Structure 1
Amino acid sequence: MKIEQQLVLVTGAGRGLGQHIARAFASQGAKVIINYHRSSEAARALAQELGEHALAVQADVTDRHQVDTLLTLAQAHFGQPVSTVVNNALATFSFNGDAREKADSIGWASFQSQFDGSVRGALNTVQAALPGMRAQHFGRIINIGSNLFQNPVVPYHDYTAAKAALLSLTRTLAGDLGPEGITVNMLSGGLLRSTDASAATPEALFDYIAEATPLRSVTTPAEFADAALFFASPWSRAVTGQNLVVDGGLVRD
């Protein structure tokens, strides 16, 4: 299925990286569901910017009932089921290495919050979208990961553990759903310059990463978002269970 024929759900699309992913799909003619949790004003402004092929819908992706309602509303609005899900929503987190919780002080509540946001949220959206994907014998699931579990330059213990678990879920889902024409892949970025989540990052760290990267620059949200198009396009029809690192070559997986 070509991108311009698809209905794409982008979770956490009201701000940050999610906005750029939504714009990337809309630029290729896809219909886009802009999911948001609290960023109502920004999400609705983005929907207005993208026009009639975009719809902003509030839902907490950790709540399965809200996700089911989201998909029902979107399918009724666009007249077709969701074909691609981009699991981008992130539990509240600030990428400030100086303020991170360290090994001797971090509590399980921090891990639980990140696991709920990354793994539970992704499981909810996948399960809710599966009936529509099965009806089309086509589906694309794109999970947003991190290069930090391969290159933990800053030990964000809770965030990194949750993203590593999401990669495991990506690969087991790929094996489970492949026979039904549904692919499941992950896109892993490093620090992006800049998003709301990376706003607290010291400038010195951006400079350090740029110097260590072959492209001598820190990847932007728009550059990262472009890579999501590959996994939703016909060009990736034989690719599943993979983790593509999009960080300018900093980490070589």
Structure 2
Amino acid sequence: MTVQQRVAVVTGGGQGLGRSFCLALAEAGWAVAVVDLDLENARAIAGKVEASGGIAKGFHADVSDENAVSRLAEQIEGGLGAVSVLVNNAAIFSTLSMGSYDEISLQTWKRVMDVNVTGTFLCCKEFAPRMAAAGYGKIVNISSATVFTGRPGYLHYVTSKAAVIGLTRALASEVGPQGVRVNALAPGSTETEVERATITREAREKMAGETALRRVQVAEDLVGTVVFLASEASDFVTGQTINVDGGLAFH
């Protein structure tokens, strides 16, 4: 796979899925802007990339803050160059508690929407015009396979990730004529280094047993799809949602 330009932005890149996306994109040849609310984590992942011979810089930003996202874009272009790939991965999930819909506070609901939906929108709004001006770009929005299964206990999260799919489709229609492709990736329940109090090992094994592939999903199962969607190999793919969950929900 080849790339026209070599700068990729990954939000929420300091841990979990974002960490793996950063490392995989760097290995595939992109200079990576590792963006995270925790600057120390972002710099640590950037350091891992550089230690392996790649190019990366860590950046701090709250993606739900419009001014912060605008500053971020300027900093990345100044530090790494023009961006051709944006992976909207930043989201609230691992810290959420499971519960019935009527137990979700309005404050929690709004915060999940602010980060998971508005944050994705703001990053697209900032970077898509820059890609359009260059005539080429790739946006990969991270949704969730929970949208297809209607998983209970996470109404706020599932709703936010369904919104990301709608955003992906509508934006793809708008920016396609300018050479910008927009797709979504829907991961299944994925084991990472980030601990989650809401899922036990037994529960994870049970979910794995319900998939076609019968094993626990890990972050490395997703990176090939991200690299594909970021590369020229997917240049005629846009507005799509690719479900990567080992065969739990057939979509």
Normalised by the size of structure 2, how large is the TM-score? 0.93
Would you say how many aligned residue pairs link Structure 1 and Structure 2?
Answer: 248
- Runs in 1 of length 4+ with deviation above 6 angstroms? none
Which among 151, 154, 168 is matched to residue 152 of structure 2? 154
Instruction: Summarize the Cα distance change of 1:206–1:4 in structure 2 as closer, same or farther, 3 Å threshold.
Output: farther
Q: Aligned residues: percent identity?
A: 32
**Alpha-carbon distance between aligned partners in 2 of 1:152 and 1:194, rounded to the nearest angstrom:** 22
**Alpha-carbon distance between aligned partners in 2 of 1:2 and 1:136, rounded to the nearest angstrom:** 17
Unaligned runs of 5+ in 1: none
Shift of 1:226: 2.2
Query: What pairs up with 1:16-165 in 2 under 5 angstroms?
Result: 16-38=16-38, 40-51=39-50, 53-78=55-80, 80-91=81-92, 93-94=94-95, 99-165=97-163
**Alpha-carbon distance between aligned partners in 1 of 2:18 and 2:4, rounded to the nearest angstrom:** 19
Task: Give the secondary structure class of the aligned counterpart of 1:104.
Answer: helix
Residue 232 of structure 1 aligns to which amino acid in structure 2? A
Shift of 1:249: 1.1
Q: Answer yes or no: is the 8 Å Cα contact 1:84–1:139 preserved in 2.
A: yes
Out of 29-38 and 220-229, give the one that drifted further. Answer: 220-229
Q: Answer yes or no: is the 8 Å Cα contact 2:128–2:180 preserved in 1.
A: no
Shift of 1:195: 4.2
Shift of 1:42: 2.2
Normalised by the size of structure 1, how large is the TM-score? 0.92
Q: Answer yes or no: is the 8 Å Cα contact 1:187–1:244 preserved in 2.
A: yes
Residue in 2 that maps onto 1:238: 236
Instruction: Summarize the Cα distance change of 1:61–1:130 in structure 2 as closer, same or farther, 3 Å threshold.
Output: same
Q: Answer yes or no: is the 8 Å Cα contact 1:3–1:28 preserved in 2.
A: no
Q: Answer yes or no: is the 8 Å Cα contact 2:94–2:194 preserved in 1.
A: no
Matching of residue 210 in structure 1 with residue 204 in structure 2? no
Q: What CA RMSD, in Å, does the superposition of the two structures yield over aligned residues?
A: 1.7
Instruction: Summarize the Cα distance change of 1:251–1:197 in structure 2 as closer, same or farther, 3 Å threshold.
Output: farther
**Alpha-carbon distance between aligned partners in 2 of 1:211 and 1:20, rounded to the nearest angstrom:** 24
Shift of 1:118: 1.3
Task: Give the secondary structure class of the aligned counterpart of 1:5.
Answer: coil
Shift of 1:14: 0.8
Task: Give the secondary structure class of the aligned counterpart of 1:140.
Answer: strand
Residue 103 of structure 1 aligns to which amino acid in structure 2? Y
Instruction: Summarize the Cα distance change of 1:157–1:195 in structure 2 as closer, same or farther, 3 Å threshold.
Output: farther
